[in-house]
């Protein structure tokens, strides 16, 4: 049996309410059927309104259920996390949406891709291209959030690191991180994204170092080859970029 269905069955059994149960005085309190007009409520529970779908969903989450959010959403009619990711990106790429609404959508999107599964879903959902395009948005806050989301997606995630590189995401991040006159907050998030992208992933590290050298930013003192598995060496490059933002490099 499917694991989710097994969990659902287990949750249903654990949280089911029997039609009759021993009352505190030892008698049996019977809950009247709604259609029985002659029945007299024997307890407060009998007069309470039927649990709504939303309340049931909340109860499932607050009773320590091990049902996953996607299953609960399917059961109670809510959108899946994949649908939420698509919806957020629609807002982010909608020219008519206000900046405030876009930033709310970005915040929700970033929280969703903190999940490794959701981060890996960026590829099948075709969301890498629109996300990377937002690195060039006119609004600094949008560029900052785009870089933040990239960093979240690739952190400790080899599959997403590979996709970022394949989609050409390293050059715009290097450009943002080193661009004179760029908002400092944007540059810091771009550096965070680069740090996440290159650690333990040599192809991305090689691409980043190549872009730095191409832009005349080879003063990190690590030469043309930096070992992506050597955290001290990686920290040296990332630290040098941070110093450039702070004006100390």
Q: Is residue 34 part of a domain?
A: no
- Band of the pLDDT at 232, cuts 50, 70, 90? very high
**63 and 117 share a domain?**
no
User: For residues 73 and 152, which has the higher predicted lDDT (pLDDT)?
Assistant: 152
Whether residue 52 sits in one domain with residue 156 = no
Is 26 among the domain residues?
A: no
Give the residue-averaged pLDDT of 26-54: 45
Integer angstrom CA distances of residue 233 from 9, 205, 211, 226, 247? 52, 11, 17, 6, 21
Mean pLDDT, to the nearest integer, of 17-39?
50
237-248 pLDDT tens trace:
999 999 989 876
Contacts of 164 (CB under 8 A, 6+ apart): 128, 150, 153, 154, 170, 197, 204
Provide the Cα torsion 136, 139, 144, 148; round to 10°: -70
- pLDDT of residue 19 exceeding 90, the answer is no
Same domain? 117 vs 213: yes
Domain at 109, CATH number: 1.25.10.10
- Structure confidence at residue 109 (pLDDT): 98
Range of the domain at 159: 81-246
Mean pLDDT of the chain: 81
Query: Does 22 reside within a domain?
Result: no
Share of the chain above pLDDT 70, in %: 65
- On the 0-12 / 13-18 / 19+ scale of CB atoms within 10 A, 25 is exposed
pTM of the predicted structure, to 2 decimals: 0.70
Residue 86: inside a domain = yes
Per-residue pLDDT of 194-214, as tens digits, reads 999 999 999 999 999 999 998
- Shared domain check, 218 and 125: yes
Decide if 232 is inside a domain. yes
Question: Cα–Cα distance between 21 and 28 in angstroms, integer?
Answer: 6
In this predicted model, what pLDDT tens digit does every residue of 69-108 receive, in sequence order? 656 555 666 789 999 999 999 999 999 999 999 999 999 9
Whether 131 maps to a domain, the answer reads: yes
- Check residue 246 and give its pLDDT: 85
Say if residue 123's pLDDT is above 80. yes
pLDDT of residue 50: 43
User: Beta partners for 20?
Assistant: 30
Asked if residues 206 and 227 have their Cβ atoms less than 8 Å apart, the reply is no
- Total number of domains in the chain: 2
């Amino acid at each position: 049996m499917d694991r989710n269905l097994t969990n659902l069955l287990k949750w249903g059994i654990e949280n089911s309410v029997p039609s009759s149960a021993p009352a505190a005085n030892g008698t049996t309190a019977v809950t009247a059927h709604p259609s029985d007009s002659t029945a007299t409520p024997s307890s407060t529970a009998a007069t309470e309104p039927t649990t709504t779908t939303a309340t049931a969903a909340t109860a499932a989450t607050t009773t320590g259920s091990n049902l996953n959010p996607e299953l609960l959403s399917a059961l109670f009619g809510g959108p899946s996390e994949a649908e939420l990711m698509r919806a957020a990106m629609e807002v982010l790429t909608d020219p008519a949406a206000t900046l405030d609404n876009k930033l709310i959508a970005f915040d929700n999107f970033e929280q969703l891709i903190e999940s490794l599964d959701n981060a890996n879903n960026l590829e099948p959902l075709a969301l890498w291209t629109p996300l990377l395009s937002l690195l060039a948005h006119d609004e600094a806050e949008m560029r900052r959030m785009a870089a933040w989301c990239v960093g979240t997606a690739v952190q400790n995630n080899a599959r997403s690191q590979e996709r970022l590189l394949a989609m050409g995401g390293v050059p715009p991040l290097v450009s943002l991180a080193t661009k004179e006159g760029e908002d400092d907050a944007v540059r810091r998030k771009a550096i965070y994204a680069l740090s996440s992208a290159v650690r333990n992933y040599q192809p991305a590290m090689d691409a980043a170092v190549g872009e730095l050298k191409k832009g005349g930013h080879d003063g990190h003192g690590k030469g043309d080859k930096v070992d992506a598995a050597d955290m001290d060496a990686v920290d040296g490059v990332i630290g040098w970029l941070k110093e450039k933002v702070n004006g100390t490099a």
